[in-house]
């Protein structure tokens, strides 16, 4: 059996890392097709190197764009590769535009589709990810759901029970495998940032609904300020360039106690996450990671497709 693993973003690489390692271990016939939906080729190479993963056989260099642009470019590029390679099954993970493009391309070529992390729902159609999740689930041949709750959701939507398999979540394996790498390579990071174990809060906030609206971002900053006033612990915020741009555009003052630092590598972030007293995030993946690491987590969203976290 020939397997095509389709990836497009860093969270997908992280969550599929354990499956890729298992494919290598079992000497399965597989290859990686990477759409490179968001990142530069150089940053991407560093990321695969950091996690000690094999390089993708194909890199489509789709880049960022509108949802239509990303999905369309990925769909065209993926179809070309699938027609050439003729895999028996395509594996996609999550809810990105790459996931939708990969599942559509494979389905139309009559190639089996396996959706890792199927059955999740936020029930918020304002989120483009929700559309991607629903469509991908309904054209997949194998729904690899993380929980019984996710299975029940798929069943309620009329999906054939013979297609649904409760597998657990690959992020659990990925966190433990990658944490070992992080502890080995990043053990001096706390000293470098002048932090003490379990004596700081870690923040990530990147979603449009939090960052692109001045009042929302202002309210977040006020909440961070109140946290510092209450607990007197540093708040560490590895900041995305877009967030930095919005802070400047909105002329917002960074509150006392909030430490904006440059973006971290995945292993650096995972190491900080494991050592934080509290995580505040609007990222679904980080909600899961914090839960696995048993670090308390505040979700900076009005809803989540991961209620278990």
| Three-state SS letters, 215-246 | HHHHHHHHHHHHHHHHHCCCEEEECCHHHHHH
What are the helix (H) ranges across 140-235? 148-156, 170-185, 189-192, 208-211, 214-231
pLDDT at residue 42, as a whole number: 56
CA dist 86 and 112 (Å) reads: 11
Q: CA–CA distance from 191 to each of 44, 50, 177, 243, 303 (Å)?
A: 27, 21, 23, 26, 36
Query: What would the mean pLDDT of 17-26 be, rounded to a whole number?
Result: 96
Encode pLDDT of 146-171 as tens digits.
999 999 999 999 999 999 999 999 99
Identify the CA nearest to 306 among candidates 289, 288, 290, 292.
288
Domains and CATH numbers, the chain: 2-168 (3.40.50.2000), 187-299 (3.40.50.2000)
pLDDT at residue 72, as a whole number: 97
Largest CA distance in the chain: 60
Q: State the DSSP code for 307.
A: T
Query: What would the mean pLDDT of 277-288 be, rounded to a whole number?
Result: 94
Active site members: 206
* DSSP per-residue string spanning 24-82: HHTT-EEEEEE---SS-HHHHHHHHHHTT-PPPSEE----S--HHHHHHHHHHHHHHHH
- Considering only residues 76 and 44, tell me which one the structure prediction assigns the higher pLDDT: 76
Identify the CA nearest to 296 among candidates 214, 200, 211.
200
pLDDT at residue 32, as a whole number: 98
Q: Which of 36-45, 104-113, 174-183, 208-217 has the highest mean pLDDT?
A: 104-113
**What b/e sequence results for 66-100 when a residue is b if at least 16 CB atoms lie within 10 Å of its CB, and e otherwise?**
eeeebbebbbebbbebbeeeebebbbbbbbbbbbb
Q: State the DSSP code for 261.
A: E
Residue with tokens 């369309």: 72
Query: What would the mean pLDDT of 249-276 be, rounded to a whole number?
Result: 94
Q: How confident is the model at residue 110 (pLDDT cuts 50, 70, 90)?
A: very high
Give kind and range of the element (H or E) at residue 305. Answer: none
pLDDT at residue 39, as a whole number: 65
With 90 as the cut, is the pLDDT of residue 43 above it?
no
Q: What is the pTM of this model?
A: 0.86
20-34, 127-141, 175-189, 268-282: segment of lowest average pLDDT: 175-189
Q: And the tokens for 188? A: 């001096």
Q: How confident is the model at residue 242 (pLDDT cuts 50, 70, 90)?
A: confident
pLDDT at residue 3, as a whole number: 99
């Amino acid at each position: 059996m020939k397997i095509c693993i389709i990836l497009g973003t860093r969270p997908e690489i992280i969550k599929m890392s354990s499956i890729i390692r298992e494919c290598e271990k079992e000497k399965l016939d597989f290859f990686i097709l990477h759409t490179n939906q968001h990142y530069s080729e150089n940053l991407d190479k560093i990321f695969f190197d950091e996690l000690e993963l094999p390089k993708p056989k194909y890199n489509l260099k789709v880049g960022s764009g509108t949802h239509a642009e990303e999905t369309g470019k990925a769909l065209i590029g993926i179809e070309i590769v699938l027609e050439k390679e003729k895999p028996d099954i395509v594996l996609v993970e999550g809810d990105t535009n790459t996931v939708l493009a990969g599942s559509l391309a494979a389905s139309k070529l009559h190639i089996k589709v396996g959706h890792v992390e199927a059955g999740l729902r936020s029930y918020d159609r304002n989120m483009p990810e929700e559309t991607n999740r629903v469509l991908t689930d309904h054209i997949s041949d194998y729904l690899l759901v993380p929980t019984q709750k996710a299975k029940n959701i798929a069943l309620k939507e009329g999906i054939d029970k013979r297609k649904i398999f409760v597998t657990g979540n690959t992020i659990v394996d990925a966190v433990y495998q990658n944490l070992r790498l992080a502890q080995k390579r990043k053990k001096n990071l706390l000293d470098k940032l002048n932090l003490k174990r379990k004596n700081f809060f870690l923040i990530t906030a990147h979603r449009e609904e939090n960052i692109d609206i001045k009042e929302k971002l202002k309210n977040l900053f006020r909440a961070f300020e109140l946290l510092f006033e209450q607990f007197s612990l540093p708040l560490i915020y590895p900041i995305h360039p877009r967030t930095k741009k919005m802070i400047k555009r909105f002329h917002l003052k960074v509150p006392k106690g909030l430490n904006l630092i440059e973006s971290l590598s995945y292993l650096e972030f995972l190491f900080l996450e494991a050592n934080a007293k509290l995580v505040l995030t609007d990222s679904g993946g980080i909600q899961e990671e914090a839960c696995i690491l048993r670090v308390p987590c505040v979700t900076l969203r009005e809803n989540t497709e991961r209620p278990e976290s």
